[in-house]
Structure 1
């Protein structure tokens, strides 16, 4: 049922911004020594001439950072407790995050986060107040492994994926408070544009 939208997205025409995002990722990979200069030149040529997402995606598929491939690093644990917890603004995204809603709830906003990962594993425990997650346009959200519980899961994200954009892989349970995943709303987008200008 999800295969057809994925094929449709792959056939979509890539924009100049999509090509530039892949070019930037390739340059960073070369600077880190993950591809040599000859391979960089080849991939840059392919990226700049790509017309669809399907042509762009293979150019960065093998550029997974070492810490992600090894599954290393300490998980980021966010606990809502009595008063709630928010992780927003500029912050570095680790490969593994655990969010426990508690009584106050947890809100995780990835829109200004620094993320060079291909996959982020986010274990949610909705508990009483739930977990709210805000992801940029173009990110993929996988939620098949989440136990819906009493609160349920609301995924309001689109299926259109930007080449090279992260995949947020959810697991855990929604509890009574539920889990909400969405893109930035109108007010948040206006605020973000004000910060970037």
Structure 2
């Protein structure tokens, strides 16, 4: 669940984007997050905005890409289940600074003539055992897993497509004068 101020602010901003908070209430709650001194004070600010508390019983995110590129990156809220449908498209899910609702994420992939890329922080456990590939490629560059880190279980089917799991790329400085 959400545990620190940046994750709380991301949850508040998402609630505002969803229309569950108006701008005034967002401003009040952000001020309360940054003035909180204890964990209970911090939790009280977003207690009514958790996925179950605001009436959502469907903790799934369904993403569709048909002939286009779909990217989730930055601070985004990751539900326990994600379904990815991609046909002649590309989907990139970057978990580098994402806010997780749970330590385990189940992702179901259905990709035809496209690709799905997962960018995960160091130490995350990636399980690709339930993924079926027909004329495709599955590549896991995210190693080694560390005990206690989040786990992603990827299942589904890819046809003439690829799945890549990798760590974030490091920025390299370029200077024209040596």
Q: What is the SS of the residue equivalent to 1:101?
A: strand
**Residues 75 and 97 of structure 2 are in contact (CA less than 8 Å); yes or no, is this contact kept in structure 1?**
yes
Aligned to 2:160: 176
Aligned to 1:50: none
Query: How do 1:1-197 and structure 2 match up within 5 A?
Result: 72-161=57-146, 163=148, 165-187=149-171
Distance 1:124 1:66 in 2: 23
Deviations 1:28-60 (A, max 9, x none): 69x86xxxxxxxxxxxxxxxxxxxxxxxxxxxx
Q: What is the SS of the residue equivalent to 2:135?
A: coil
Deviations 1:132-184 (A, max 9, x none): 11111111111101102211211111123152x21001110122111111111
Distance 2:145 2:114 in 1: 29
**Residues 105 and 128 of structure 1 are in contact (CA less than 8 Å); yes or no, is this contact kept in structure 2?**
no
Distance 1:28 1:157 in 2: 33
Distance 2:138 2:159 in 1: 10
Distance 2:152 2:97 in 1: 15
Distance 2:110 2:138 in 1: 11
Q: What is the SS of the residue equivalent to 2:106?
A: strand
Distance 2:79 2:39 in 1: 18
Deviations 1:74-101 (A, max 9, x none): 4111112122211111100001101122
**Residues 100 and 131 of structure 1 are in contact (CA less than 8 Å); yes or no, is this contact kept in structure 2?**
no
Distance 2:116 2:99 in 1: 21
**Residues 88 and 112 of structure 1 are in contact (CA less than 8 Å); yes or no, is this contact kept in structure 2?**
yes
Query: What RMSD, in angstroms, separates the aligned Cα atoms of the two structures?
Result: 2.8
Gaps of 5+ in 2: 5-37, 44-49, 174-178
Q: How many residues align?
A: 128
TM-score norm. by structure 1 comes to: 0.57
